[in-house]
Amino acid sequence: MMSSENRSDFSASCSRIAEEARAKINLALHVTGQRPDGYHLLDMLVTFTDHGDRLDFMPSPTDEFTLSGRFGETLAGDGGTNLVLKARDLLREAIGPLAFPVRIHLEKNLPVASGIGGGSADAAATLRGLMRLWDTSLPEEALAALALKLGADVPMCLASRPLIARGIGEKIEPVPELPVLAVVLANPLKGVSTPEVFRRLATKNNPSLSLSPSRPQTADWLAAIAAARNDLEPPAREMVPEIAVISAMLQAHGALLTRMSGSGATCFGIFATMAAAEDAAAALHDARPDWYFQATETVSGGA
């Protein structure tokens, strides 16, 4: 960790730092209960993709925040509600005088509020990037608490590798056995209210997630994922019928398994190969150019 005396020299000479904010996929999401404070208890099998947002960080005379990317305009003007800025400010408060002013640029490639952790991934990438830029770190427990303060999905996005998350998302167990999967992310670009999805849940005490921890083959994992579920998908489909339409489109173009991620409206299709996923995404884009389709691979559990 550098001293405060060297901060000016460091900030003047430090090069630009980049961080990927990978899309999060809930391969399974079981709602297993509800706490007295209203938070729902969840069991989730989560993985992350090579595709996502990108953040760049560099020293600046004053704090700056700029946006680009397909969905950048969606976030323009949200001011202090942006999780990137909240993450910057919370980390600065924790670190103190080493946290010199920064210019942050967010390339927003993921749809906003779409069930694939875009804002949470951006916040997590901000924590990772600024700790590198500011040449500092926090104790593991302090960093985990700070991440959770930003949102229940931020701790898992901080890890950005296959995992099982329980509780409200803060109890994380790595899943190094999960293989790389070829997927297509698909979203009709229609918003879904997460609170309303939870309100419409018929049952909030559902069976927990049960997975073998040592399934080595992709086919075994596909069978295990297919036997699981997303308890938020039925109420989300009631609210946004396009979710059913987009899921059927993925199946019609060769997906081995389809499911909604998070509270929606993004669905994913798992394909046999990356070439098959890319062909499907291109055909789906041709059919509905006004919707979002992205072929990508998930990260390796052993990365």
Q: Apex CA 244: angle with CA 239 and CA 249, to 5°?
A: 150
- What is the maximal distance between C-alpha atoms in the chain? 62
Output the CA angle 192-193-195, nearest 5 degrees: 145
Give the distance, in angstroms, between the CA of residue 41 and the centroid of all CA atoms in the same chain: 18
Which structure tokens are listed for 58? 């560099």
Distance CA 231, CA 122 (A): 25
Give dist(CA 144, CA 1) in Å, integer. Answer: 20
User: Are β-strands 102-107 and 64-68 bridged in parallel, bridged antiparallel, or unpaired?
Assistant: parallel
Cα separation of 231 and 271, whole Å?
23
Q: How far apart are CA 162 and CA 176, in angstroms?
A: 7
Catalytic residue among 43, 53, 122, 153: 153
DSSP state of 272: S
User: Could you give the strand order of the β-sheet that contains 257-260, starting from the edge strand earlier in sequence?
Assistant: 257-260, 267-271, 182-187, 292-297
Helix, coil or strand: residue 76: coil
CA distance 100 to 133: 9
- 56 an active-site residue? no
Please say if 149 is a catalytic residue. Answer: no
Q: Which of 24, 43, 53, 231 is catalytic?
A: 24
Q: Residue 292's closest CA among 218, 190, 163?
A: 190
Measured CA to CA, the distance from residue 240 to residue 92 in angstroms comes to: 40
Active centre residues (catalytic): 24, 153
